[in-house]
Structure 1
Amino acid sequence: MKKQLLLLTPLLIFASCTTQERFEEKLTKTLIDRPEILTKVIESNPDQFVIAFQNAVRRGQQKIVEQRKLDQEILLKKAFDNPFKPVIRKDELIRGTKGAPITVVEYSDFECPYCSKGFKTVKSLLKKYDGKVQFVFKHLPLSFHENAVIAAKYYEAVRLQDEKLAIEFHDYIFNNQSDLKSGEKFLKELSKKLGVNMKRLSSDLDSEAIKLRIAEDLSEASRFGMEGTPGFLVNGIPIRGAYPLEHFDMIISKLVERGSLKL
């Protein structure tokens, strides 16, 4: 303890006959000019400083969590007051019940592991709200996923032939996502396995129609602030990330409470 006081003596000198502001200014300058003072104090009581640092980190993390929660609540309220309006095309592949009161739109990336989790949540959502949900899958292939764009093209090419096959294609990839590492070889093999017309698929893959469709999805996702995947809209209310079913339940319950959704 005596050693500590001796080390801190140069600092304590500034504590007399001066304002708090001036004291802090001098203290800061001293520590900048002579950082070894602080180093010696820390070295003399390492355990206490580690504990103090850990406590400070925990408090900081808690404040960040609380602020994020507050920010999310503010954004959520704004979203309920002014929900997004995604385009539902005439030829949109609808899973669930077409025209159902709950519309779930997903912006997804076939190579994203979080989208695989999101897929499981969507399945649970369709089961729990059977007959009351229509689900629309849209594309948001991320640039750092090497096979995301080509997988999106294959999906759309398969969809042009047969929607049921497109659903099987979609589900197989998310149930066996690691196979996508093989790239187009895997996508071709999967398409053949499903019985897709490979000649037509080959001609459709790089068609302007498919390129435009994916570009439209990307543009819409960007417009709604979907920077990562998966991103969802539940009757226009955004959910950014692979949240569990309970979070979707909460959004749906609030929509019902507000009178904008009747189940």
Structure 2
Amino acid sequence: MKDNPEILYNAIKAHPKEFLDTVNEAVELAKAEMQKQAMEEEFKNRKEPVIEEDRAIFGPKDAKITIVEYSDFQCPFCSRGYDTMKALEQKYGDKIRVIYKHLPLEMHPQAMPAAQYFEAIALQDHGKAQKFHDMVFENQQELNEKKEKFLDEAAKKVGADLAKVKKDIKTDAVNDRIKKDMAEAQKFGFSGTPGFLVNGIAVRGAVPPQHFESIIERLESDKE
């Protein structure tokens, strides 16, 4: 073959579709192997996020699976991540808990205000903060169009004291938490959103629920 490359050329010319299929299959196999190796590294080198006692938690505090999410309220990919978390909550119920952390990107001007509102509402009531979180992601287009007016409306709808929210969004308690979340995300190598830690195992991007399910199933089998 090396001495007579025309043999290969003629074979490709005679069967171009079969050749492309073979190349694509080889590429997919290589990608799958790289992803497998990357996942093995994540299992070996688990991250340890800080989970404060007073932080809003979606799910039971004693759940066996903890998903820490680094997200941006205005990011369309984070909206897909939101849908994925809801699907996992529905499937696994009390087995998982989700902890929402902030990574507002500069390209999304409403992401930081939304993060501030979320934390300010959480100071009043964690349940109301979760409802606000859900409302923002389920109405992301309204956030884009109405901006702070939408945040005010959402805060009122979940039953928060809006006057107190307006004061608290300026406090160190709210803004320091957001800054710490952003610093932690950077420390763990999350530059875009969304990013997740599943019992410390990093997942990057808006991957489908099946990816999380494979990690959760492995974590559960490792405990048996």
Give the TM-score band, short-chain normalised: 0.7 to 0.9
Distance 2:29 2:191 in 1: 22
Q: Which residue of 1 aligns with 2:10?
A: none
Q: Give, as a single letter, the amino acid of the residue that structure 2 aligns with 1:231.
A: G
CA offset at residue 95 of structure 1?
A: 1.2
Q: Which residue of 1 aligns with 2:165?
A: 201
Q: Which residue of 2 aligns with 1:120?
A: 83
Of residues 55, 72, 80 in structure 2, which corresponds to 1:109?
72
**1:154 lines up with 2:117 in the alignment:** yes
Q: Which residue of 1 aligns with 2:105?
A: 142
Gapped runs of 5+ residues in structure 1? Answer: 1-19, 21-47
Is the Cα–Cα contact under 8 Å of residues 57 and 126 in structure 2 kept in the other structure?
no
**Secondary structure of the equivalent of 2:93?**
coil
Distance 1:82 1:219 in 2: 19
**1:246 lines up with 2:210 in the alignment:** yes
**1:226 lines up with 2:184 in the alignment:** no
CA offset at residue 127 of structure 1?
A: 1.7
Q: Which residue of 2 aligns with 1:85?
A: 48
**Aligned pairs, how many?**
211
CA offset at residue 65 of structure 1?
A: 4.9
Q: Give, as a single letter, the amino acid of the residue that structure 2 aligns with 1:92.
A: R
**1:133 lines up with 2:133 in the alignment:** no
**Secondary structure of the equivalent of 2:94?**
coil
Distance 1:172 1:119 in 2: 11
Q: Give, as a single letter, the amino acid of the residue that structure 1 aligns with 2:215.
A: I
| Residues 227 and 67 of structure 1: CA distance in aligned 2, closer, same or farther (over 3 Å) | farther
Q: Which residue of 1 aligns with 2:200?
A: 236
**Secondary structure of the equivalent of 2:88?**
helix
Q: Give, as a single letter, the amino acid of the residue that structure 2 aligns with 1:216.
A: K
Distance 1:66 1:225 in 2: 26
Larger Rg: 1
Distance 1:232 1:111 in 2: 17
Identity %: 42
| Residues 55 and 160 of structure 1: CA distance in aligned 2, closer, same or farther (over 3 Å) | farther
Q: CA RMSD in A?
A: 2.3
CA offset at residue 251 of structure 1?
A: 0.5
CA offset at residue 175 of structure 1?
A: 0.8
**1:172 lines up with 2:131 in the alignment:** no
Distance 1:60 1:183 in 2: 48
| Residues 204 and 71 of structure 1: CA distance in aligned 2, closer, same or farther (over 3 Å) | same
**1:255 lines up with 2:219 in the alignment:** yes
Q: Give, as a single letter, the amino acid of the residue that structure 1 aligns with 2:115.
A: A
Distance 1:147 1:164 in 2: 22
Of residues 54, 61, 64 in structure 2, which corresponds to 1:98?
61
Distance 2:21 2:175 in 1: 47
